[in-house]
Homo-oligomer: A and B are copies of this chain.
Amino acid sequence: MKRLHLSTFFFFLFLAGAATAQDALPSWNEGSAKQAIVAFVEKTTKAAGPDYVKPEDRIAVFDNDGTLWTEYPAYSQLFFALDRVKHLAPQHPEWRKKQPFKAALAGDLKAVAAGGEKGLAEILGATHAGNTPEEFQAIVAQWLASATHPQFKRRYDRLVYQPMLELLAYLRANGFKTYIVSGGGVEFIRAFAERVYGVPPEQVIGSTIVTKFEVVNDKPVLRREAKINFIDDKAGKPVGINQFIGRRPIAAFGNSDGDFEMLQWTTAGDGPCFGLLIHHDDAEHEAAYDRKSSVGRLDRGLDEAQRRGWSLVSMKNDWKSIFPTTHH
């Protein structure tokens, strides 16, 4: 009787322990990616273990486009810019005959892309600048509340990846500080990152445009200008991480070659470290693209992930679902 009691106790203890890790990531299929994540979190948080990492050094960095939400067939921020051109068009009758605005008004992504960097810079200037960060974030929030993705027919902020929301929460529950490190605009992401991802504004690192301090009628304002300040992509990601965080992360999550240097930097640290790339291979539920894609190209990462010890997530095989099924 006494022995039964004890073994029953240990049996439930075992179940409880296993359940904690498994239930935190219910949208992940059992497989090497999930196993690697759980093993990394468990070893870095085990107080007496050889791979223990102090809470303040548990920094995890996440790319946004294609890693936390969809980037297919184009970045959501580009859809925002095109919608914004349409919204502002009545005040700019000249746009009807002038590229790249004519293409933007026609919703012609290919023609917009044909305008190259110069064309994109013109659209950026017309849609992202001339206001304050607060005004711009309010515009983005309003757009998110009303706009629908052309292909998936959902609000953009409901095209986030359910397995990644679970991963963010799982890491935070284990004392990790989660940062977004994105090539997208920092104020664009800050407009929804706290509500949607639980990531506060001070943990969003992104590309920036020049912002100037002005005093108008003794009231200080920050004014966004139509001029690039910093591109937080590729080699810019470790630079941005060092500038903002000042510590090397121990875990990095991305999906494209734009994240390569971030993973390379993160996984070159002295202690335990973790790198993971998401492979978009689920054409049925989202999209399948990699080496030849114009958005989120993943080429070098596919070649080198294994050699570098980075996990490669197959969205098709590792994830049970892509987008949240419930309202949030």
Residues of A within 8 A of B (CB): 56, 133, 186-187, 190, 200-202, 204, 208, 211-213, 215, 219-220, 222, 235-236, 238-239, 242-247, 261, 264-265, 268
Contacts and interface: CB of A to CB of B under 8 A. Distances in A.
How many copies of the chain does the oligomer comprise? 2
Given A133-B242, A247-B202, A264 B215 contact: yes
Contacts of A264: 215, 220
A303 to B, nearest CB: 14
B212 A246 contact: no
A213 B186 contact: no
A204 B265 CA distance: 21
B211 A246 contact: no
A23 B200 CA distance: 33
A201 B238 contact: no
A242 B204 CA distance: 12
Nearest to A134: B248
Contact of A220 (B212, B238, B246): B238
A242 B211 contact: yes
Residue of A212, A222, A265 most packed against chain B (CB within 10 A): A222
A213 B201 contact: no
A213 B238 contact: yes
A140 to B, nearest CB: 13
Q: Identify the 4 closest CB pairs spanning chains A and B, nearest first.
A: A201-B246, A213-B235, A202-B245, A220-B264
Contact of A261 (B187, B220, B245): B220
A265 B213 contact: yes
Nearest to A246: B201
A239 B224 CA distance: 10
B243 A186 contact: yes
A200 B245 CA distance: 9
Contacts of A190: 246
Nearest to A261: B213
A213 B268 CA distance: 13
B204 A246 contact: yes
A196 B74 CA distance: 47
A186 B245 CA distance: 11
Given A213-B239, A239-B211, A202 B268 contact: no
Nearest to A137: B246
A208 B243 contact: yes
Given A213-B261, A265-B213, A239 B222 contact: yes
A231 B242 CA distance: 17
Contact of A246 (B202, B235, B245): B202
